[in-house]
Amino acid sequence: MQGLQGDLPIVVIIAVAAFLAGLCSERLRAQLARQAWQKRRWSKTGATPVTDPAEQLRLVMGARFEKRRLLSRSEAYVLYAAERAINTVDLKWRVMAQVSLGEVLSSPDARAYSAINSKRVDLLIVSRNGDPIAAIEYQGHGHYQGSAAARDAVKKEALRKAGVRYIEVTPERGTDDMAREISRIAQAEGLRLNTSSDDDRVRAVTGSSER
């Protein structure tokens, strides 16, 4: 009995050591897996991610930067046409350029959200409250190459589920169809807003009469 009690601390120490070794091994495997994923992610650019702010500042201070066009000439032309169409509508909408879907859509499914988080739309019409109304994509000549159609399908489906319209503009169709679609959306939104205002007035009247 005394021998068993004397061996007990050794058994506990061995068990704790085995547990810590297993924990360290799991953490090491997770770290190696994360490093491998980051290496694959950045292999196309030949760069590795820099997360330390001080190192980021050092790199930026030692590098040269140049401004880039936010939109191509064709995309800018579509933006101006969308703004002209918006100006004919009595709703105070705005047109934003190069909007990340991760900033205007959300999902409780983390994996589904990661599928759209880094994707962008060329233009986004937003309400005066900042709510997304419609996405506009310019599909130039030769757009549908490789996996472009699949990428567009991902964006379309996510926007559809969120209740955001999707408008495509092509060189062949021009911007007239886009302007008509914006007008239709504006009419639908105007009707919805007017109905909501009428309902509010009805509630206000009935509420005051009940009091």
pLDDT for 34 beyond 60: no
Domain span including residue 176: 73-204
pLDDT of 206: 47
Answer whether residue 211 is part of any domain: no
Answer whether residue 64 is part of any domain: no
Answer whether residue 197 is part of any domain: yes
Residue 121 has a CB neighbour count (10 Å cut-off) of: 23
Q: What are phi and psi of 135, to 5 degrees?
A: -100, 140
Strand 165-169 to 132-138 pairing: parallel
pLDDT of 49: 79
Q: What is the CATH number of the domain that holds 112?
A: 3.40.1350
Residue 183 burial (CB < 10 Å; 0-12/13-18/19+)? middle
The distance of Cα 115 from the centroid of its chain, to the nearest Å, equals 9
> Contact at 8 Å (CB) between 86 and 185?
no
Answer whether residue 66 is part of any domain: no
Distance CA 139, CA 142 (A): 8
Region of poorest pLDDT, from 29-43, 141-155, 195-209: 195-209
pLDDT for 24 beyond 60: no
What total of structural domains would you count in the chain?
Answer: 1
Answer whether residue 28 is part of any domain: no
> Contact at 8 Å (CB) between 126 and 93?
yes
Region of poorest pLDDT, from 4-18, 117-131, 167-181, 187-201: 4-18
Report which of residues 206 and 138 the model is more confident about: 138
Answer whether residue 49 is part of any domain: no
* Cβ-count burial 40-75 (b if 16+ within 10 Å, e if not): eeeeeeeeeeeeeeeeeeeeeeeeeeeeeeeeeeeb
Report which of residues 206 and 68 the model is more confident about: 68
The mean predicted confidence, pLDDT, of the chain is 80
Nearest to 192 by CA among 84, 88, 91: 91
Distance CA 77, CA 58 (A): 38
Q: What are phi and psi of 3, to 5 degrees?
A: -65, -40
Answer whether residue 17 is part of any domain: no
Answer whether residue 38 is part of any domain: no
Structure tokens given for 205 = 């009247």
